[in-house]
């Protein structure tokens, strides 16, 4: 057993947890929308065609904001195709994913679905094939109350009240040569600035996200952000960061260190944004929107073969199946996001259903929780209030990809209102238990409310339609609190949650009911 220590003290805080850190992403891609969230013939479908079993799981997941409609898809999208009577909507070629787009779901349906899922919509505009005018038109359609052609069109289409969408992405990954309408950093920076300024004339209270790099391995990473922000710094509120972590070809030890890479990526984007702010002598500080992150078995994604297939609707695309190692890495990525709560204001796990997703479905059949569902759901449910600076001390191990990496990844939150303290921890060791000892003297009036661990004897175990509960958090009986010290044993390759509550509070359970 390897020892590890940390301290929990409300005097040392990183920043407040923004609920939007627990965002997700629904792209018109593969089966995320069609036979994912929308399937009118499904036995659980509501009168609007939304799958009830998926809505139940999305609410349980606790996602707070959902980005839509892409992704690469948005860079060729005409939003007008997706409004009005369904039988008059055009079928189009979706060039991004070589699919047929029926347009049965558009912005009005998505916003209605968000209401039922209890999430906030986060809308992207097309800055690939389109520009300022179309972005402003979509905003007028969505947010202007009434009395103009587009707001009255929305009302005629059944949405009497404005959709009131606050957060808007100014395009998607326009640094990527694969992106329809790919641009240089200067071209995109100018377009983002002008689009933002025009959109704010329609609605002054928007929160706008400029596209950062598609990932940190892009040759233009950081240079792209610098040039883009030089043009649009004062017009936007966030710069985006996208990063996926690929288990294919990596050792489990290396892959389990992915959170270190996300830490560095966030730090690099923050440093670049602040550098531009300093050059511009601006007092504003931009936040980062990590609006695509996840584990993605990307090396298995055979694009040439995919590109040869016929044009079809709702093709199965990148429906990765996740195991315990993936769940531990997702836990670590969530810890990294929380650790940067002072600068990361939005984060969206990509995606929500079927496409590299925590929720999987079969058409006409079951919906189930993948292993990665659980760390997200627990963090979204329990990480409230302020993130604490916990300063873990533990042995490190050597990795090819990330250098020396601590065996323990951990963060904690303290909710001043309820008094609850939540410790989130990942044991990255593939062989050893960690014996974590936490100094909790600052929470002397607290008691242990529960501890769970997610692991399995075989860390390659996955969930499936036939065996949906193979991997789930279980109570961890090896957690104890006495004399201002919390001790808990963390199994190898595990995601862990420990909760302390004031003695006066009733005990909340940490186990999820089915
Ligand atoms: O999430 C899948 C794709 O990954 C998105 O469409 C794109 O933005 C990213 O490259």
Residue with CA nearest ligand 1 atom 1: 350
If phi > 0 it is left, if psi is from -120 to 50 it is alpha, else beta; for residue 48 that is alpha
Q: Please provide the distance, in angstroms rounded to a whole number, between the alpha carbons at the two ends of the chain.
A: 33
In a domain? residue 140? yes
In a domain? residue 336? yes
In a domain? residue 150? yes
Alpha helix locations (H) across 68-117?
107-117
In a domain? residue 142? yes
Boundary (domain end) residue, out of 325, 351, 382: 382
Q: What pLDDT shows up at residue 301?
A: 79
In a domain? residue 98? yes
Q: Do 348 and 392 fall into the same domain? A: no
Choosing from 27, 80, 120, 292, the catalytic residue is 292
Opening angle at CA 313, ends 310 and 317, nearest 5? 80
Residue with CA nearest ligand 1 atom 5: 71
Q: What pLDDT shows up at residue 513?
A: 40
Q: Do 147 and 231 fall into the same domain? A: yes
**What are the Cα distances from residue 404, in Å, to 253, 396, 397, 408?**
11, 6, 5, 12
Q: What is the pTM of this model?
A: 0.97
Residue with CA nearest ligand 1 atom 7: 71
Boundary (domain end) residue, out of 358, 382, 406: 382
Q: Do 155 and 259 fall into the same domain? A: yes
Alpha helix locations (H) across 86-214?
107-117, 132-143, 149-156, 185-202
**Cα of 71 from ligand 1 centre, angstroms:** 5
Q: What pLDDT shows up at residue 242?
A: 98
Residue with CA nearest ligand 1 atom 6: 71
Distance CA 171, CA 202 (A): 18
Q: Do 341 and 413 fall into the same domain? A: no
Q: Do 49 and 169 fall into the same domain? A: yes
Give pLDDT tens digits for 248-291.
Answer: 999 999 999 999 999 999 999 999 999 999 999 999 999 999 99
Q: What pLDDT shows up at residue 510?
A: 62
- In the sheet with 446-454, reading across from the earlier edge strand, the strands are 13-16, 386-388, 408-414, 421-427, 494-502, 446-454, 474-475
Q: Do 26 and 174 fall into the same domain? A: yes
Choosing from 80, 140, 173, 225, the catalytic residue is 173
Q: Do 354 and 395 fall into the same domain? A: no
If phi > 0 it is left, if psi is from -120 to 50 it is alpha, else beta; for residue 504 that is alpha
Q: Are 437 and 479 in contact (CB under 8 A)?
A: no
Q: What pLDDT shows up at residue 512?
A: 46
In a domain? residue 507? no
Tokens matching residue 160: 């009497």
Here the CATH number for the domain that contains residue 431 is: 2.60.40.1180
**Cα of 292 from ligand 1 centre, angstroms:** 7
**Cα of 45 from ligand 1 centre, angstroms:** 27
Dump strand ranges (E) for 139-285. 167-170, 207-210, 238-245
Give the total number of structural domains in the chain. 2
Tokens matching residue 394: 């533990």
Q: Do 287 and 400 fall into the same domain? A: no
Residues of the chain with pLDDT under 70: 302-308, 506-514
Tokens matching residue 98: 């070589």
In a domain? residue 511? no
Tokens matching residue 462: 């996955």
Tokens matching residue 205: 């209270």
Here the CATH number for the domain that contains residue 135 is: 3.20.20.80
Q: What pLDDT shows up at residue 307?
A: 63
Q: Do 321 and 411 fall into the same domain? A: no
Q: Are 46 and 52 in contact (CB under 8 A)?
A: yes
Boundary (domain end) residue, out of 350, 382, 414: 382
Q: Do 251 and 152 fall into the same domain? A: yes
Q: Do 473 and 352 fall into the same domain? A: no
Distance CA 175, CA 135 (A): 19
Number of the ligand 1 atom closest to the C-alpha atom of 215: 10
In a domain? residue 93? yes
Domain range spanning residue 282?
Answer: 18-382
Q: What is the distance of C-alpha 273 from the center of its chain?
A: 21
Tokens matching residue 271: 């440093």
Maximum Cα interatomic distance, the chain, rounded to a whole number of Å: 69
Residues 6+ apart with CB under 8 A from 433: 1, 2, 427, 489, 490, 491, 492
Distance CA 258, CA 330 (A): 9
**Cα of 114 from ligand 1 centre, angstroms:** 21
Task: Please name the residue that has the structure tokens 């292993």.
Answer: 371
Give pLDDT tens digits for 349-373.
Answer: 999 999 999 999 999 999 999 999 9
Active-site residue 173, yes or no? yes
Tokens matching residue 353: 């259903």
- In the sheet with 393-394, reading across from the earlier edge strand, the strands are 393-394, 2-7, 434-439, 485-490, 479-482
Q: Which residues line ligand 1 (CB under 6 A)?
A: 27, 29, 70-72, 172-173, 214, 292, 350-351
Q: Do 63 and 176 fall into the same domain? A: yes
**What are the Cα distances from residue 90, in Å, to 81, 83, 498?**
6, 10, 51
Q: What pLDDT shows up at residue 300?
A: 87
Task: Please name the residue that has the structure tokens 């531990």.
Answer: 328
Number of the ligand 1 atom closest to the C-alpha atom of 27: 6
Number of the ligand 1 atom closest to the C-alpha atom of 72: 6
Number of the ligand 1 atom closest to the C-alpha atom of 292: 1
25 DSSP β-pair partners: 67, 350
Distance CA 159, CA 136 (A): 18
């Amino acid at each position: 057993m390897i020892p590890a220590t940390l301290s929990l003290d409300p005097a040392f805080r990183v920043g407040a947890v923004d609920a939007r850190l627990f965002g997700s992403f629904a792209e018109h891609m593969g089966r995320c929308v069609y036979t994912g969230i929308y399937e009118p013939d499904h036995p659980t479908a509501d009168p609007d065609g939304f799958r009830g079993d998926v809505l139940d799981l999305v609410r349980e997941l606790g996602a707070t904001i959902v980005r839509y409609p892409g992704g690469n898809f948005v860079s060729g999208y005409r939003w007008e195709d997706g409004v009005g009577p369904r039988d008059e909507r055009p079928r189009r070629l979706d060039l991004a994913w070589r699919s047929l787009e029926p347009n049965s779901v558009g912005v009005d349906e998505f916003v209605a679905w968000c209401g039922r899922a209890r999430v906030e919509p986060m809308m992207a505009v097309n800055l690939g094939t389109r520009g300022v005018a179309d972005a402003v038109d979509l905003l007028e359609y969505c947010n202007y109350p009434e009395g103009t052609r587009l707001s009255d069109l929305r009302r005629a289409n059944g949405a009497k009240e404005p959709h009131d969408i606050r957060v808007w992405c100014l395009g998607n990954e326009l640094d990527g040569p694969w992106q329809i309408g790919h641009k240089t950093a200067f071209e995109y920076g100018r377009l983002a600035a002008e689009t933002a300024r025009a959109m704010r004339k329609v609605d002054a209270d928007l929160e706008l996200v400029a596209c950062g790099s598609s990932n940190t391995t892009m040759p233009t990473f950081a240079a792209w952000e610098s040039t883009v922000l030089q043009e649009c710094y004062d017009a936007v509120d966030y710069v985006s960061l996208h990063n996926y972590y690929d288990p294919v070809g990596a050792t489990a030890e290396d892959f389990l260190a992915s959170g270190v890479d996300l830490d560095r990526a966030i730090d690099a984007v923050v440093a670049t944004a602040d550098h531009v702010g300093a050059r511009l002598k601006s007092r504003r500080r931009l936040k980062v929107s990590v609006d695509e992150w996840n584990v993605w078995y990307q090396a298995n994604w055979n694009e040439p073969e995919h590109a040869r297939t016929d044009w079809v609707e709702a093709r199965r695309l990148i429906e990765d199946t996740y195991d315990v190692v993936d769940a531990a890495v997702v836990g670590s990525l969530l810890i990294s996001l929380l650790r940067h709560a002072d600068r990361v204001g939005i984060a969206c796990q990509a995606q929500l259903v079927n496409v590299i997703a925590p929720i999987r479905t079969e058409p006409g059949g079951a919906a189930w929780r993948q292993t990665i569902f659980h760390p997200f759901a627990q963090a979204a449910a329990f990480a409230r209030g302020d993130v604490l600076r916990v300063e873990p001390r533990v042995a490190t191990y050597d990795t090819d990809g990330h250098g020396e990496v601590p065996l323990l990844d951990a963060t904690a939150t303290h909710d001043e209102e309820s008094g609850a303290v939540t410790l989130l921890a990942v044991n990255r060791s593939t062989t050893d238990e960690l014996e974590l000892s936490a100094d909790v003297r600052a929470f002397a009036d607290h008691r242990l409310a529960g501890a769970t661990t997610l692991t399995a004897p075989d860390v390659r175990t996955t969930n499936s339609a036939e065996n949906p509960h193979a991997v789930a958090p279980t109570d961890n009986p090896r957690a104890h609190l006495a004399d201002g010290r919390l001790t808990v044993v963390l199994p190898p390759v595990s995601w862990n949650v420990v909760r302390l509550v004031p003695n006066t509070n009733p005990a909340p359970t940490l186990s999820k009911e089915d």
